[in-house]
Amino acid sequence: MNQELTSFLNEIKEQVEVRLPQHLERLSVPEKLVQAMTYSLEAGGKRIRPALLLATIQSFEQPIESGLDVACAIEMIHTYSLIHDDLPAMDDDDIRRGKPTNHKIFGEALAILAGDALLTYSFELIAQMNNDHVSAQQKLLLIQEIAKAAGPEGMVGGQVADIEGENRSLSLEELLYIHHHKTGDLLIASVVAGAIIAGATSEDIANLRMFAKELGLMFQIKDDILDVEGDQDLIGKPIGSDDGNNKSTYPNLLGLDGAKKMLNEHMDQAKEYLYRVNMNHQLLLTLTNYVAERDH
């Protein structure tokens, strides 16, 4: 990763991780609920969704501060999905990001409720934010975009298809559907949200949507590759966990070399869409390369 991207990601990570607990501190709720929400929000992670949102804003030469609250809201939704994914009824994972999963610390009932709270509070946060750069109409577009990405036509639908695909061989088309929706839609929403906040044209938003779709598939393909050849200490969960859960993956379907070839094809397509957008491309190009080359 080059120095410019490292500095940007570290800056974004720091700003988001300072802002996230501040939002939770305002809540008048049982202390244990805030503890459970905070535990998973502060468990670390790449913060790639906030980074994509804020990188998009910066690429349109607009102030990053205008998107920080929306970035936090999207990170809350992502974190809720991880809490629920780890539950015994879902992936039944004991470790997430090198730490015990939420339900291992707080119990299943509170883990479910902490996830529910993060999801619903994210939309309250967007609706009530006081931001001179974001109009009421833009807030409505943001809520619509993010809700669709997180809902039945997006992440939830992808998760259901993923569960239904366990213990059987999937076609490439089925696997693409799962990964586009389970992982990709919230990544797409992050980029599109940044474009909405920056006041991008409808044509630029359409091209960024396609760019982000390719990027989301890259992200999942790379995750599958890391599950085969990654470093457990770096990725924070056991290597081969997908095989252990009898899940179809790109390496299983295409072979490791085939998966790597497909990753590069989606990377080339992502860059092609990005170059069509009237913006400074460098930061998002560097982020695209990072998604393909990351080791965790």
Domains and CATH numbers, the chain: 3-293 (1.10.600.10)
Q: How many CB atoms lie within 10 A of CB 236?
A: 17
Structural element, H or E, at residue 250: helix 250-254
pLDDT in tens, 126-150: 999 988 899 999 999 999 999 999 9
**pLDDT of res. 238:** 53
Q: Which of 5-14, 64-73, 162-171, 265-274 has the lowest mean pLDDT?
A: 162-171
* CB distance 207 to 274 below 8 Å: yes
pLDDT in tens, 223-232: 899 988 866 5
Of residues 223 and 208, the one with the higher pLDDT is 208
pLDDT in tens, 37-64: 999 999 888 899 999 999 999 999 999 9
107 φψ region: left (φ > 0), alpha (ψ -120 to 50), beta (else): left
Residue 291 exposed, middle or buried by CB count within 10 Å (0-12, 13-18, 19+)? buried
pLDDT exceeds cutoff 60 at 240: no
Tell me the average pLDDT of the chain: 92
Alpha-carbon distance of 61 to 236, in angstroms, equals 35
**pLDDT of res. 230:** 64
- Size (the chain), residues: 296
Q: What is the pTM of this model?
A: 0.92
